[in-house]
Structure 1
């Protein structure tokens, strides 16, 4: 408000600007502006985005009336907008809405040329998407979540403009064939997310999309494994993959891959007696064909589960010639047996990131740590490491073992220029104490010119330690 002139500055904005502002609000709030004045009464009819969520109506004490009110509200909103063009339609329903009412809503927005459709439906009865969804000539982005009755059933798929597809908690009636048919109807698809898709029940699973640039797959169940998985995506540049190791990987094509986040799991935890070896029946599947195809990456994230897979379910670790950034997740129940092979086969690695240093101590961790081996007997692969920067995330209280590990890195890695430790503590006293301990540690490594930086997100100061002294500087966030 212009208090001096008592003029409503917002209402004096052009209509298209006001509509643009309204498009960022939930639909119920945007619709409520129609009571402000005559000028605002019909502006809502031209808002290009609709965000409808039945949870704003939910009241456990009067469930039926609330659901009815929500359905009537959606009908009124769509009627008010008429045939005006629509960019985005988001519909979130959790309970009590009649599925019969939903079909006309979807038809309405498709007829109006919607390009971004988000359906989050957790209904009490089976619901099938209308065939119009699979034949839309305007959809660019499609996100679908089905709850209790997740089923895809279609005769044909033709989505000529679809670039982004997100499917969560859904099943395909024809299993692997259904998914392949769906993807084949998306000729320019670039971004695909398959979340909680239980393809372990299929005879085969295949993602073959020549245009795909980003793929995210996540299946968290540990009790089952997929029989056969093929991934033919020659233009893929980003991969985030969480799954149990498959029985086989007939085809894996990641020719253009630049960044990968891999969380592969064994079918079941393996309890190994390291001195007696282990049997072939302790695992299912072989990850070799999958791992060999990610060797072109520049940035690689490996979970602790994947370290275990590399140890027990991979015939060999490939040569990562392009790898410059490697992140390794540590877990106190998983050893580092595969880490020496990773570092030896990464000749151009510049940045090494540990999400914690605590891991299971074994006599097979090689020369990366000091597990069970006298230091004088170790011929370390770290001595030829090209790594310039080490980052240690999730850095807790410094212990004697952790201090020894840090000192070992400093003494052994000739090209190391900086070590950054991200320390989460609310106490300035803790930062000063750890900084002092690190300074003493560095002073004992006379040959090292590496700078150690201690950073805390919760403080305004961070500590930088080197052989030249202790410096305080502004805190920075982890990269």
Structure 2
């Protein structure tokens, strides 16, 4: 690792625009210091220091960098790395806006504390620490009472020993990653010293001994955004997890595990739940209350029963399911219950797997809810088959639908000359409200053409059909042929216009 620094005493030079042999200012040389420093801030500090050899003007520019970024990998020389960090901090003479320290190898605790203390003394505003230290690690006391700190990221196996007095008077964003909480008293002190926290992210953490209510309520009064990723809830305390979050607006649950959870946040507006792994097959339940909830996002195998309060004023929902063959039937019943409580949404996005899951429980199709308020319906994922009974049932139950979008295109596997029966009876929205159909990633094969033909012929109130190509590299002549075929299709609406994108 080349970490050589200039031997001279650092001086802040007044940088003049460099000129070429014709007397014209060079573009890079004529940039002001603040712009050059901003550019260098996107580089690791060792690379920014190496830039000093480019010209006399750049020689000491790195000593004013607003962002210091140090990274120790497994292949680096740890001794050279630690010496380099200390020399940079010694010669650096400006305030630090962001300080990033990432060490895959454990470093000397005393020296790490000195680096953190140096950043704190330089009025650091955003501090990111990714350390591989043991559970006996002791933090510098000055870190926990710094008024300038607004954003803190800590990734460490164990929080270690925390000071008795903690007060992050200006901290608004806190991220704790891969932390095992084993000392309940220390973590309670940490959360009690966050008077203005607005965003909290807990990523891959273990909470096996912590009582959530005693941590949160009522200490996080200003918390607006909370993310929990790979958090395991193993005790009854998770029943009241969000009791002490009166102004929470956004909640993200990513790949967490639980038996039962109750979410009751009066100002919660956005809720996202992602289950990326196949959890243990067991009866799991989540109760969701919140009169202010406007948007709900779910992605996962649907192994959990979600009970949303029926009086929710949801406006938007995005549902993506991918169950295994073993759980198809159970997922279909859970999906039915979830769609039932989402019946009042105005904007709904479903994955292609949703209609496939419903196909595995045909006995539920007659009882699917009516989406009286639904205005925009979109299908994500793979190409959706127009002949799927689940899709047709949802269209029949959306009488006020205005816009229908197929993000990854559409197919009709039942290609035949007499295909009117597919939309027989015709959904009521096709006769009165449906004004726009969007078919994206169109390739022009016969199955797609058949689906578009059916939609154009039956949507008698349609004003516009948008076709977005998935043929960027094809010949213009081939696209022209496809366009002509589409334009010749019969239309049920005299006012319908086909728009190509």
Q: TM-score band, normalised by the shorter chain?
A: 0.7 to 0.9
Distance in 1 between residues matched to 2:123 and 2:286, nearest whole Å:
44
TM-score (norm 2): 0.74
SS at match of 1:327: strand
Which residue of 2 is the match for residue 89 of structure 1? 99
Which residue of 2 is the match for residue 328 of structure 1? 319
Which residue of 2 is the match for residue 189 of structure 1? 197
* Aligned residues of 2:124 and 2:149 also touching (Cα < 8 A): yes
Distance in 2 between residues matched to 1:371 and 1:421, nearest whole Å:
23
* Aligned residues of 1:416 and 1:450 also touching (Cα < 8 A): no
Which residue of 2 is the match for residue 216 of structure 1? 227
- Cα deviation, residue 299, structure 1: 0.8
Match for residue 147 of structure 2 among 137, 147, 152: 137
Q: After superposition, where does 1:168-317 map in structure 2 within 5 Å?
A: 168-175=177-184, 177-204=185-212, 206-208=215-217, 209-219=220-230, 225-229=234-238, 230-231=241-242, 232-242=244-254, 243-247=256-260, 249=262, 252-263=263-274, 269-270=280-281, 282-283=282-283, 286-288=285-287, 291=288, 293-305=289-301, 307-310=302-305, 317=308
* Aligned residues of 2:63 and 2:92 also touching (Cα < 8 A): yes
Distance in 2 between residues matched to 1:134 and 1:374, nearest whole Å:
56
1:309-333, Cα deviation, whole Å (9 max, x unpaired): 22xxx6x541244211111112233
Match for residue 37 of structure 1 among 55, 59, 69: 55
SS at match of 2:222: coil
SS at match of 1:167: strand
SS at match of 1:287: strand
* Aligned residues of 1:118 and 1:142 also touching (Cα < 8 A): yes
1:190-244, Cα deviation, whole Å (9 max, x unpaired): 11111112113435454331101111111166xx734312222111111112322
* Aligned residues of 1:423 and 1:455 also touching (Cα < 8 A): no
Distance in 1 between residues matched to 2:364 and 2:62, nearest whole Å:
74
Q: 1:227–1:34: structure 2 CA closer, same or farther, 3 Å change rule?
A: same
Distance in 2 between residues matched to 1:448 and 1:411, nearest whole Å:
15
Does structure 1 residue 386 correspond to structure 2 residue 357?
Answer: no
Write out the 4+ residue segments of structure 1 that deviate beyond 6 Å after TM superposition.
Answer: 264-267, 460-466
- Cα deviation, residue 439, structure 1: 2.0
Distance in 1 between residues matched to 2:163 and 2:195, nearest whole Å:
17
Consecutive unaligned residues in structure 2, runs of 5 or more: 1-17, 411-439, 474-478
1:346-383, Cα deviation, whole Å (9 max, x unpaired): 4541111112335775xxx6xxx6833497xx35523x
How many residue pairs end up in the alignment?
428
Q: 1:345–1:13: structure 2 CA closer, same or farther, 3 Å change rule?
A: closer
Q: 1:268–1:167: structure 2 CA closer, same or farther, 3 Å change rule?
A: closer
Distance in 2 between residues matched to 1:424 and 1:28, nearest whole Å:
48
Match for residue 401 of structure 2 among 416, 428, 451: 416
- Cα deviation, residue 134, structure 1: 1.5
Does structure 1 residue 350 correspond to structure 2 residue 338?
Answer: no
SS at match of 1:188: coil
Q: 1:184–1:416: structure 2 CA closer, same or farther, 3 Å change rule?
A: same
Does structure 1 residue 75 correspond to structure 2 residue 86?
Answer: yes
Q: Which is greater in Rg?
A: 2
RMSD: 3.6
Q: 1:318–1:269: structure 2 CA closer, same or farther, 3 Å change rule?
A: same
* Aligned residues of 1:351 and 1:389 also touching (Cα < 8 A): yes
Distance in 2 between residues matched to 1:304 and 1:151, nearest whole Å:
35
Which residue of 1 is the match for residue 420 of structure 2? none
Distance in 2 between residues matched to 1:72 and 1:410, nearest whole Å:
66
